[in-house]
Amino acid sequence: MERRCTGSEVKGVSTGTTILAAIYDGGVVIGSDSRASIGGEYVSSKTINKVIQVHDRIFCCMSGSLADAQAVTKAAKFQLSFHSVQMERPPLVIAAATIMKELCYKNKEDLQAGFITAGWDHRHGPQVYVVSLGGMLVSQPVTIGGSGSTYIYGYVDAKYKPNMSREECLQFATNALALAMGRDNVSGGVAHLAVISETGVEHVVVPGNKLPRFNHE
């Protein structure tokens, strides 16, 4: 146990956020907190929505610098709608994720943002993709991101099961966000969730006072 620099043990270069996405049997749940902060001292927005719709059945969650993330998602939304017009059918989730990845990778020097892309398409069903800071693209059944995610790695590892029902997955995501918001001072506010499946998209907003409570001394 020698002295070692690990950097800021929680944040890396993320600025206050907790985001997650998880696949259930027939769809995917994607969610985030709603706090935007400056330097960890001032909450500049209590109700920002970090879950952005980039197409009918494809959503993105952003973490890191919100300015960079908003710029990237805007560009991706445009490119994706153009792509879908060319293909004459709804885009695949991996197409959306690849567009984000190309933007992140080509501009890695200038950008500081990471994304979770989740959605449903006709070819592969529900999918979750992670585009991390340098532009790596990885597909996972469940993933978490942002500064608050550090605190819930243990919870997500313990509680996620493949092929959960929609209600179980929604409860799992709400619990995970509530736990992270309880421990991370730069995550908070309300929980924004989107449930995406073949039949459509449902937005769920859980206000702070309705979030599950856990034993906090």
Partner 1 sequence: MLGGAGPELVTEEVKTGTTIIAVEFNGGVVLGSDSRVSAGDAVVNRVMNKLSPLHDRIYCALSGSAADAQTMAEVVNHQLDVHSIEIGEDPLVCSAATLVKNISYKYKEELMAHLIVAGWDRKDGGQVFATLNGLLTRLPFAIGGSGSFYVYGFVDAEYRKGMSRDECQQFVLNTLSLAMTRDGSSGGVAFLVTIDQHSTEEKIILPKHLPKFFNQ
Instruction: Between 70 and 155, name the residue whose CB sits nearer to partner 1.
Output: 155
Helix, strand, coil in percent for the chain, rounding step 5: 30, 30, 35
- Interacting positions 13-32 with partner 1 (CB under 8 A): 13
Q: Do the beta carbons of residue 191 and residue 174 sit within 8 Å? A: yes
Closest by CA to 63, choosing from 124, 98, 19, is 19
* Range in contact with partner 1 (rule: CB under 8 A) among 77-85, 114-122, 195-203, 208-216: 208-216
Give CA separation, 57 vs 15, 37, 120, 190, 212, in Å.
27, 29, 6, 23, 28
Instruction: Between 98 and 150, name the residue whose CB sits nearer to partner 1.
Output: 150
Catalytic entry in 6, 15, 17, 117: 17
Q: Is 4 in the site for partner 1 (CB under 8 A)?
A: yes
- Interacting positions 100-139 with partner 1 (CB under 8 A): 112, 133
Q: Do the beta carbons of residue 181 and residue 212 sit within 8 Å? A: no
Instruction: Between 121 and 172, name the residue whose CB sits nearer to partner 1.
Output: 172
Amino acid at 143: T
Q: Do the beta carbons of residue 83 and residue 127 sit within 8 Å? A: no
Q: CB of 168: closest distance to partner 1 in angstroms?
A: 14
- Interacting positions 141-170 with partner 1 (CB under 8 A): 142, 150-162
Q: Does residue 6 have an active-site annotation?
A: no
* Range in contact with partner 1 (rule: CB under 8 A) among 6-14, 29-37, 87-95, 185-193: 6-14
Q: Do the beta carbons of residue 147 and residue 10 sit within 8 Å? A: yes
Residues serving a catalytic function are 17
- Give the residues lining the site for partner 1 (CB under 8 A): 1-13, 112, 133, 142, 150-162, 175-176, 179-180, 182-183, 214-217
